[in-house]
Chain A
């Protein structure tokens, strides 16, 4: 029963346990439940990745109604990779969460928090697993609505406005996607992605399909915070509870990118997307601007969470740049960076959680001399930061390596220079924090703080360990990403 239903269980298990979590209320059991489910999801995801790797793409007809009549779950290598990273981040974040949540969220809300977290996990996994355009919209909404709630639970009132802003932009995005999907359905009569891919070539010279393409692209771009549609992101990441920042930053935008990949390559096909609609050129420009501008803005932030948020916008630029090349190497690079950035950003935001727990602030000037007092936490920050810059032996370097060589393969060497220039900006903004924490004298009036508890350090270090492992041996990740990219690229060719 387990193996053939693996794909469904991946999504259904967290879904069913979300209400259980609500019933468990504010007791520790809610956390234990969320933790168990997260690890269970990671276990299922691991099995799923191996299964996809050994016997190929998994298709699962829900309710035994064969696509396109029913809803199909379809997980290929790219999807499996996304599912795995979501589940892995979820397991890490939940292992970390208890102390941080006790500190940042009122006790009576903790049950709701864990329920919403599981719902968000469900939504994200569902998006990655589904092969149905409308079903994707539904799970997108599950993940979005729950993340609005999660973000609004932040410690300051600005969390509320941040969540509201996200809600408005997110809903506009989702509605755009809905319009696009509606038009696709109108012209083809189907909602199944593979079926759409087969039927679209017959109608893809219509104005309706072109507009549908534009609306889906814009809608998804809002969700993945592509510059200049990223306006919701900095506030949301800054004011959300630390755990939420770590989870959402590492997963939500990544899933957005995955959706974009699905639509560009699987549904519309590489020819329509990149040749007829020229989306490659547009995305490339936006990605480069995002990379440079957001990195530059990050340099001037004094709130480190906000700085990391702008860095995320920039890093999304890297991923989109890879995708915009529409080559196997480019998409591979995008997916590798997607994976690595999830590891990096999650660790960095967890680090911020540690600091907030002890210090009650993540402002740069409060961090002076902190490395003496929280050496393990700051070490995570340094390694994560180096990875963001792209220093060798970290996963960030692997990303950069693949991205730059993909760009060079495409003959666009000025872009390579810009990519590397943007990593210099990363050096500056990470450097500011390191300089403050390691080489500045602490404020004499500041209180002494202790290192964060082990329960919060270990998950962060596990992420760093994975990061360094990839930095040394990326062959597994690169192999999976390459396989995923080849399926995506190949899917567009008739």
Chain B
């Protein structure tokens, strides 16, 4: 696809990213924030994988008779990034669990009120 329309993929991905970003910074619920980060990061992965795509290419596994492959490097980067995202999610959720145990709430505004009071 030529012309600016050839970028539509990226634009949608940006909308997706911003959806996640918005959840992170606008929502006071801590689990929702983690979900937001997850969505944000997953959308960035889509961005990377999109850039790796080569028109009419195939998965970068060398086969007889195929000579156009998609770019393997972003795939590798994203494999790493997915694991980073899992690590972040796990740690974030563990923190949420502990926060809930000591504050009795997972709402940022309520936590703030309690911190101010103490």
B51 touches A182 (CB 8 A): yes
B84 touches A152 (CB 8 A): no
Closest to B17 in A: A179
- The CA-CA distance from A175 to B30 in the complex, in Å, is 18
A171 touches B77 (CB 8 A): no
- The CA-CA distance from A191 to B51 in the complex, in Å, is 14
- In the complex, chain B residues whose CB is within 8 Å of the CB of A164: 30, 92, 95-96, 99
As a 0/1 sequence over residues 20 to 64 of chain B, the CB contacts with chain A under 8 angstroms (1 = contact) are 010011000010010001001100100110010000000000000
B95 touches A160 (CB 8 A): yes
Q: Report whether over half of chain A's contact residues are helix, strand or loop; otherwise say mixed.
A: helix
Cβ 8 A contact of B99, one of A145, A160, A179: A160
Q: List B62-118 residues whose CB lies under 8 Å from chain A.
A: 73-74, 77, 80-81, 84, 87-88, 91-92, 95-96, 98-99, 102-103, 111, 115
Min CB gap B69→A, angstroms: 15
Q: Known: A157-B99, A164-B95. Is A172-B24 also a contact (CB below 8 A)? A: yes
- The CA-CA distance from A161 to B102 in the complex, in Å, is 10
Cβ 8 A contact of B95, one of A134, A167, A186: A167
- The CA-CA distance from A152 to B93 in the complex, in Å, is 13
Closest to B21 in A: A172
Q: Known: A134-B77, A145-B91. Is A160-B98 also a contact (CB below 8 A)? A: yes
Q: List A130-164 residues whose CB lies under 8 Å from chain B.
A: 134, 137-138, 141, 145, 148-149, 152, 157-158, 160-161, 163-164
A362 touches B (CB below 8 Å) = no
- In the complex, chain A residues whose CB is within 8 Å of the CB of B37: 168, 171-172, 175
A178 touches B (CB below 8 Å) = yes
Q: Known: A141-B84, A145-B87, A167-B88. Is A152-B98 also a contact (CB below 8 A)? A: yes
Interface size on B, residues (CB 8 A): 31
B21 touches A182 (CB 8 A): no
Min CB gap B73→A, angstroms: 8
Min CB gap B101→A, angstroms: 9
Interface size on A, residues (CB 8 A): 26
Interface-central residue, A157, A163, A164, A182, by most chain B CB under 10 Å: A164
- The CA-CA distance from A310 to B20 in the complex, in Å, is 30
| 23 examples of A-B residue contacts, CB within 8 angstroms | A134-B77, A141-B84, A145-B88, A157-B99, A160-B102, A164-B96, A164-B99, A167-B95, A168-B37, A168-B92, A171-B37, A171-B41, A172-B24, A172-B25, A172-B37, A172-B40, A174-B84, A175-B40, A178-B81, A182-B48, A182-B51, A186-B51, A191-B73
| Residue positions of A touching B, CB distance < 8 A | 134, 137-138, 141, 145, 148-149, 152, 157-158, 160-161, 163-164, 167-168, 171-172, 174-175, 178-179, 182, 185-186, 191
Q: Lowest 10 CB-CB distances: which A-B pairs, in order? A: A157-B102, A164-B95, A141-B84, A160-B99, A186-B51, A160-B98, A171-B37, A171-B88, A182-B48, A167-B92
Q: Knowing that A148-B95, A160-B95, A175-B37 touch, tell me 20 more A-B residue pairs with CB under 8 angstroms.
A: A138-B84, A152-B98, A157-B102, A160-B99, A160-B102, A161-B115, A164-B30, A167-B88, A167-B95, A168-B24, A172-B24, A174-B84, A175-B41, A178-B44, A179-B17, A179-B44, A182-B51, A185-B51, A185-B73, A185-B74
